[in-house]
Amino acid sequence: MSEDRSKIFARADEVLNLFKRGAEFTKELIQENERLRRSLVDIEMRQTFAAQDPDQWDKLREELLQRIKSLEAERQSSLERLRTLEEENRQFATRHVEIEEENNILANLYVASFQLHSTLDLSEVVKVVMEIVINLVGAETLAIYLMDEKTNSLQAVASEGMNLSSFPPVALRSGVIGGAVALGQTVCAEGSGDHSVNSPLVCIPLRVQDRPIGAIAIYKLLQQKESFAPLDHELFTLLGGHAATAIFSARLYSQSERKRNTIQGVIDLLTNKPGQR
C-alpha cells in the first residue's frame, strides 16, 4: 500500500500549497491597504495646505484626479485578483471534497485488501471480491471468472444481478473477456447501460505475473452511478492485483490440502497393521 500512501501525501501537499497561496495573497492585501491608508493621510494634509494657498489648489486638484485614476486601476486589479482567489478557493473546496471521497475509498480498499489476504478459503476470497466491486466500484450486475487449466477456459464461479448459469464458459483469447485475460489489459467500454454476457462494460483481468487466474466482468452500474471516475480506473488496477494474488494463494492452499490429505490417507493405510483392520 506504499503507492496509496504516496498518493495521499501528494494530495496533502497540494492542499497545503493552496493554503499558502491564500495566506500570501491575504498578506499582500493587508500591505496594500496600509499603503493606501498612508496615501490618504498624505493627500488630506496636502489638501489642507492647498486650502490655505489658493494658487496651489489647481495643481493639487490635477494631482488628485491622477491619483484617483491610479487608485481606480489598482482597485480593479485587486478585484480581479480577488475573483481569481475566490475561484481558486472554490476549486480547492471542490478538490477537497473529492480528496475526502478518494481517501475514504482508499481506506475502504485497504480494509478490503486486508480481508482478501486474511483467509485462504477460496469461496470467502471470491465473496470479498464481489463485495469490493459492488460497494467500491458501484456495480449492479457482475460475474467473476476463474481459469480452468484443464479446459483452458474461464468458468464463472460467482455472479450478482443475474443467474450464474447465464454466464457460459469463455475460451482464453476468445471475445472481450478471453482477450483481456490473455493480454492482461483492462477493457472499459463506453456507456453505462446493460451489456451482453459476452461484451461486459468492464473486464478486469486477474493475473499473477504472466499466469492467467481469472477475470472480473462488470455488466451494469448502480442507478446512482452514471459513469466511471478517474479513481475507478486506479481501483481496477489495484483490485486486479490484490484479487488475483488472493485467489491464486487460496487455490494453491486448497490444492496442497487435498494432496496432504491424500498422502496422509496413503500413509495411514501403509502403517495400519493387519490385526488393526
Return the amino acid letter for 154.
L
Tens of pLDDT, residue by residue, the chain (277 residues): 555 556 656 666 776 676 677 777 777 878 877 887 787 777 777 667 666 666 666 676 777 788 888 888 888 888 888 888 888 888 888 888 888 877 877 777 777 778 778 888 888 999 989 988 888 888 999 999 999 988 999 999 999 999 999 999 999 989 999 999 999 999 988 655 557 888 899 999 999 988 999 999 999 998 888 888 777 888 888 888 888 999 998 888 877 777 777 777 777 777 764 444 4
| CA separation, residue 133 to residues 69, 108, 128, 159, 222 (Å) | 63, 12, 9, 11, 11
Return the amino acid letter for 101.
E
Centre a 10 Å sphere on the Cβ of residue 78 and count the other Cβ atoms it contains.
15
Full set of structural domains in the chain with CATH:
117-262 (3.30.450.40)
In order, the DSSP letters of the chain are: -HHHHHHHHHHHHHHHHHHHHHHHHHHHHHHHHHHHHHHHHHHHHHHHHHHH-GGGHHHHHHHHHHHHHHHHHHHHHHHHHHHHHHHHHHHHHHHHHHHHHHHHHHHHHHHHHHHHTT---HHHHHHHHHHHIIIII-EEEEEEEEEETTTTEEEEEEEESS-GGGS--EETTSHHHHHHHHHT--EE-S-SS---TTS-SEEEEEEETTEEEEEEEEEEE-TT--S--HHHHHHHHHHHHHHHHHHHHHHHHHHHHHHHHHHHHHHHHHH--GGG-
